[in-house]
Amino acid sequence: LAKTTQPISMDSYEGQEVNITCSHNNIATNDYITWYQQFPSQGPRFIIQGYKTKVTNEVASLFIPADRKSSTLSLPRVSLSDTAVYYCLVRRATYNQGGKLIFGQGTELSVKP
Amino acid sequence: DVKVTQSSRYLVKRTGEKVFLECVQDMDHENMFWYRQDPGLGLRLIYFSYDVKMKEKGDIPEGYSVSREKKERFSLILESASTNQTSMYLCASSQGGANTEAFFGQGTRLTVV
């Protein structure tokens, strides 16, 4: 599975838009890009997933360029409750790999008042 | 609501003991996972199961084994617990396929003394 690289930490202020970029240079044709969020003392929680172009849900947007070697998670107007660790993952769509989740170090986002 | 339940929230065991961590999911998911999480190391995959009785080693399987006799239950076994296995253990499950969301349990904080 493609290795992902993302910033170790980011700081932001309430009300700002936050963009976290992840690089996955060795992504394969049948790989999906997925983002998870983790609060202290809790398990990770799914945020968003995409294959190409742009995906948006009620929480975030995910931008994936045509070459798919990177992706950007966009959090609009963050609040203090968005302080968490954000993980970018690549998942492969084959029978015995189809669910496999390999987490990297994640990006620790700190939102300040 | 999807539920992934881990049998214990906190556990203290002695060095050399055989330890069983149990995980049960109620959504008929094909995939189940065991991770450990340590400060500065992120989430590391121990074992992954994509079907009953099917398992695959993750990044750090040494010192661990798993059992999946029924679809809803995935057990992590520490054959002879050691102090370096003190950690937070997280179980997760997902439906088959790379484009599906994984759900995590609340975690078991295991301390080996």
User: Would you kindly state where each structural domain of chain A is located, as residue ranges?
Assistant: 9-112
Q: What's the length of chain B?
A: 113
What average pLDDT does this structure show over B26-49?
92
Looking at the predicted structure, is the pLDDT value of residue B106 above 70? yes
Fold of A9-112: Immunoglobulin-like (2.60.40)
Helix (H, G, I), strand (E, B) or coil at A82: helix
pLDDT in tens, A44-63: 999 999 999 899 999 999 99
CA gap A65, A57 in Å, rounded: 18
Phi, psi of A81, deg, nearest 5: -75, -5
- Chain B residues touching residue A92 (CB < 8 angstroms): 98
List the CATH code of the domain at B4-112. 2.60.40.10
To the nearest whole Å, the CA of B9 is away from the closest chain A CA by 11
- Chain B residues touching residue A51 (CB < 8 angstroms): 99
Instruction: Calculate the average pLDDT of chain A.
Output: 90
B71 touches chain A (CB under 8 A): no
CA gap B2, A104 in Å, rounded: 25
Looking at the predicted structure, is the pLDDT value of residue B68 above 90? yes
User: Closest partner residue to A98 among B33, B97, B104, by Cβ?
Assistant: B97
CB atoms within 10 A of CB B65: 13
pLDDT in tens, B78-93: 999 999 999 999 999 9
Domain boundaries, chain B: 4-112
Phi, psi of B64, deg, nearest 5: -125, 155
Residue A106 zone, left/alpha/beta (φ > 0; ψ -120 to 50; rest)? left
